[in-house]
Amino acid sequence: MRLNALGVALLAALLPAAAQAQISGDVVKLGVLTDLAGVTADITGKGSVAAAEIAVEEIGGTVLGKPVQVISADHQHKADIGLSIARRWFDVEGVDAIVDVPNSGVALAVQNAAREKKRIALYSGAGTTALTNEQCSPYGFHWTYDTYAVSHGTASAVVKAGGTSWFILASDYAFGHQLQADATKVIEAAGGKVVGALRHPLNTADFSSFLLRAQSSGAKVIGIANAGNDTTNTMKQAGEFGLVQGGQNLAALIFFLQDVHALGLKATQGTYLTTASYWDANEATRSWSKAFMARTGMMPSMLHAGVYGAVRHYLKAVAKAGTDDADKVAAEMRKIPVEDVFSENAQIRDDGRVTRTMYLARVKKPEESRYPWDYLEIVRSIPPEETVWPLSESKCALVKNAPR
């Protein structure tokens, strides 16, 4: 099986450097900083921890002859809590790399701490482009997606399909702000117009006032620029208000497999979304995902797949470097190919952004679904150059000739 072959190849890479291995504390320690009980717990949370553990298990649980340990914590979507955990992990518990970090505000706080302490940060759940633009770091790697990618994939497709006027509902923190801004640029560049926008607090239970404003705007499309439970609550309540029956369309700018599962195909059919991976893409992804489901009770979101790929690549780089020293590992991460069952045409740019083929998908009609979790139809593959911030416009200090 392909996964076993990859594991054997990685183990073989570990052996030559084992005698010269320099591993701090005699253990490679990974900290999955995630949302275990909040608004994005289904798309990150325990699934992200499981994905990291699977990546470790595939290489036999050791690297350079030293054990690999996975620990986890809940940042509660609060930057001060996330930063406190990161600092304790770095200063007291000897964590070598932090993984996942859903919530852009928390991720930016962790980015600063990781830069200061010279530790690796692997972002799968965060969406802000600032991680690889103004606040890029030689130790930070943005693995799965960002707001630029999903807005270019989804918003442009909806405008081309006739959705030329938009009202955007966005979550009121860094991720929502950036997603709203990116989507607005894409909509306008495609010939559409944003006629209004509102921002709501994170983890809002009642969207009625926001949806009534959106309804009265007369916009053809209501763009939903939030994530997790906020997305499912927005779409559920939009259905209760009859917005779609009244002639408006919904466009979820970031939408996950678990969101479809929670709402059902009847409520979500026809929704466009952009994803970095899909569990049912081929035999290799299906095999991995079925093992993941046996452990978690669900198929992986693209964020779970991203955690898996990031951890796998990090451990491969540690093996190649012969050490867990962050500078040497980061250099190897940029040199070696990105290889896992969910990554197609993937590589790491100078700014730390992983560029990859992404996919425009459409949610199936109920009668089109053949088996559990068979929810998405892949409409087209999107090449990396369409979904990543152009380096010519980068403000990242790591990029040569970037504007300052």
- Tell me whether residue 306 is in a domain: yes
Give whole-number Cα distances, 279 to 43, 57, 282, in Å: 13, 20, 8
DSSP per residue, 196-251: EEEEE-TT-S--HHHHHHHHHTT-SEEEEE--THHHHHHHHHHHHTTTTTTT-EEE
Q: Which two tokens stand for residue 290?
A: 């079925």
Packing angle between helix 147-160 and helix 174-189, nearest 10 degrees?
40
Checking if the pLDDT of 185 tops 90, the result is yes
**pLDDT score recorded for residue 401:** 66
Give whole-number Cα distances, 284 to 1, 43, 187, 257, 342, in Å: 8, 21, 36, 18, 9
Checking if the pLDDT of 319 tops 80, the result is yes
In angstroms, the CA 120 to CA 176 distance is: 25
Q: How confident is the model at residue 16 (pLDDT cuts 50, 70, 90)?
A: very low
Range of the domain at 138: 2-145+281-357
- Tell me whether residue 251 is in a domain: yes
- Same domain? For 66 and 167 the reply is no
- Same domain? For 74 and 163 the reply is no
- Tell me whether residue 404 is in a domain: no
Summarize the confidence of residues 38-65 as an average pLDDT. 97
- Tell me whether residue 126 is in a domain: yes
**pLDDT score recorded for residue 403:** 56
- Same domain? For 193 and 331 the reply is no
Please report which helix (H) or strand (E) contains residue 331, including its range. Answer: helix 326-335
- Same domain? For 133 and 179 the reply is no
- Tell me whether residue 401 is in a domain: no
Domains identified in the chain, total number = 2
pLDDT in tens, 77-129: 999 999 999 999 999 999 999 999 999 999 999 999 999 999 999 999 999 99
- Same domain? For 370 and 247 the reply is yes
pLDDT in tens, 203-250: 999 999 999 999 999 999 999 999 989 999 999 999 888 888 899 988
What pTM did the predictor assign? 0.90
- Tell me whether residue 87 is in a domain: yes
In angstroms, the CA 397 to CA 404 distance is: 8
Q: Residue 4, Cβ neighbours under 10 Å: how many?
A: 9
In angstroms, the CA 180 to CA 158 distance is: 15
Q: How confident is the model at residue 256 (pLDDT cuts 50, 70, 90)?
A: very high
- Same domain? For 328 and 338 the reply is yes
- Same domain? For 236 and 323 the reply is no
Summarize the confidence of residues 56-61 as an average pLDDT. 97
**pLDDT score recorded for residue 244:** 84
Q: How confident is the model at residue 270 (pLDDT cuts 50, 70, 90)?
A: confident
**pLDDT score recorded for residue 382:** 92
Summarize the confidence of residues 28-45 as an average pLDDT. 97
Q: How confident is the model at residue 402 (pLDDT cuts 50, 70, 90)?
A: low
Q: Residue 26, Cβ neighbours under 10 Å: how many?
A: 10
- Same domain? For 269 and 362 the reply is yes
Checking if the pLDDT of 8 tops 60, the result is no
CATH number for the domain spanning 241: value is 3.40.50.2300
Checking if the pLDDT of 3 tops 70, the result is no
Please report which helix (H) or strand (E) contains residue 309, including its range. Answer: helix 302-321
Please report which helix (H) or strand (E) contains residue 360, including its range. Answer: strand 358-363
